Amino acid sequence: MLQTLRNAWKIPDLRKKILFTVLLIVVFRLGSFIPVPWINAEFVEAWLNAGNGSTLFNLMNSFSGGSLANATIFAMSISPYINSSIIMQLLTVAIPALERMAKEGAEGRKKITKITRYVTVVLGAVQALGLYFTLKSQGAIVLDGSMPEIFVALSIITAFTAGTAFLMWLGEQITGRGIGNGISMIIFAGIVASIPNMMYSATQALSAWYGWVLLAVYVLLSIVFVVMINDAERKIPVQYAKRVVGNKMYGGQSSNIPLKVTQGGVIPIIFAMSIISFPATLAQLFAAGNTSHWLYKVAEFMTGGWFYPVFLFVLIIAFTYFYSSITFNPIEIANNIKQNGGTIMGIRPGKPTSDYITKVLSKITLIGAVALAIIAVLPIIVTLITKAPIASLALTGTSLLIVVGVALETVKQIEAQMVMRHYKGFLE
């Protein structure tokens, strides 16, 4: 990886892209220190570190590089954009008009991207409203009487929403003019920036020697496991028949269909955590301070004890299958193979091909789902054993999956850019 970066630095065009990406990440980190007025940042940080915040808020704080704990303008990070993208992917499958738009090529994708931006702003405003009421219910909003409460609320909600919109713009600029996927790079930078605080919280919580040994072994094995599962794929060989078009002969070569084991990446984990954290979020919004309220009882049952990792394990597997079914269409793949004169060895074209791809996809999806569930659940089990705060350990598996995945994909993109610039072509 380091050799790839050194070689890329020697190419002026790539060096400009890398510097541009680094510059925008620095802008993101600088914005993470701009506070939102009327919020007691010390209270918010203590609330999250004590484990009183829901897993959803801890996930948001991890993605934002600690901006939520510091009550800054980037407190919500890019999470509304992630939710907006997921919603648009689901609607593209469910709504025929959006499905037709997605098949229009570049113009269709531009329209969907534009709609995604508007949905992001709307979701950002709704999430900022919920975050405001959550912080207010916890006593983190400081009202000194100098300003009307409605003005304070609008200022805080607008600041949170504008911060998310600005991060969305930064991500698009990195994607268009920098290196890697911009949104992923922002999440990557946020998680890397939050690692020191997470480790410090762990050091404060771990006292017994076996806790340190367990934590060290867990981190090392998690990194190895994430690297292995991130690049794992099942290749289905396809043979294309020779055909004559005019005076030229096409086909006759072999190819393959690569099926990634982790088809949905970290999205099923985010889905599952959002569902489990939903009652806790509702309890903080509508029953703040009333621990006898039924919402609090449901939240404690879903996020407390050993029920939480078991339920999370099941949800991740279910959402992995669901996300794989809406993002990968075996029938469409089988039709494309048939139209181009290709066949899978020993499988007839058409429906038998789609059935075979579905069968293979189902098997590798199970492996990927179990792997994702292990990555997400293992740190929670470590948390239950070592008694470390959930904010310090429970998100480590998800964070590692994102960090390793983004790093590997970025290096692959840099290598592809280098190959493209060193390729001399057939004419020379």
CA distances from 400 to 29, 123, 270, 379, 403 (A): 20, 27, 14, 11, 5
Contact 175, 182 (CB under 8 A): yes
Q: In this model, does residue 52 exceed pLDDT 60? A: no
The more confidently predicted of residues 343 and 116 is 116
Q: Which of 178-182, 215-219, 347-351 has the lowest mean pLDDT?
A: 215-219
CATH number for 207-387 (one of 3.40.50.620, 3.40.50.300, 3.40.50.720, 1.10.3370.10): it is 1.10.3370.10
**Residues 195-238 pLDDT 10s:** 777 776 666 666 666 767 777 777 788 788 888 888 888 888 88
Q: What is the pLDDT of residue 426?
A: 38
Q: Exposed, middle or buried, 227 (CB in 10 Å: 0-12/13-18/19+)?
A: middle
Q: Which of 142-146, 179-183, 271-275 has the lowest mean pLDDT?
A: 271-275
Q: What is the pLDDT of residue 356?
A: 92
Q: In this model, does residue 393 exceed pLDDT 60? A: no
Mean pLDDT score, 346-358 = 89
**Residues 325-336 pLDDT 10s:** 877 888 888 888
Q: In this model, does residue 55 exceed pLDDT 70? A: no
Q: In this model, does residue 348 exceed pLDDT 50? A: yes
Q: Which of 115-119, 193-197, 394-398 has the lowest mean pLDDT?
A: 394-398
**Residues 119-134 pLDDT 10s:** 999 989 988 888 888 7
The architecture in CATH of the region 1-206 reads Orthogonal Bundle (1.10)
Q: In this model, does residue 428 exceed pLDDT 50? A: no
**Residues 6-39 pLDDT 10s:** 887 888 888 999 999 999 999 999 999 999 988 9
- Cβ-Cβ contacts under 8 Å for 49 (sequence gap 6 or more): 69, 201, 389, 391
pLDDT grade, residue 252 (50/70/90)? low
Kindly report the average pLDDT of the chain as a whole number.
81
Q: What is the pLDDT of residue 25?
A: 94
Q: In what order do the strands lie in the sheet with 342-343?
A: 254-260, 233-240, 342-343
Torsion angle of C-alpha atoms 166, 171, 173, 175, degrees rounded to 10: -170
Secondary structure of residue 245 in the 3-state scheme: strand
Q: Where in the chain do CATH 1.10.3370.10 domains reside?
A: 1-206, 207-387
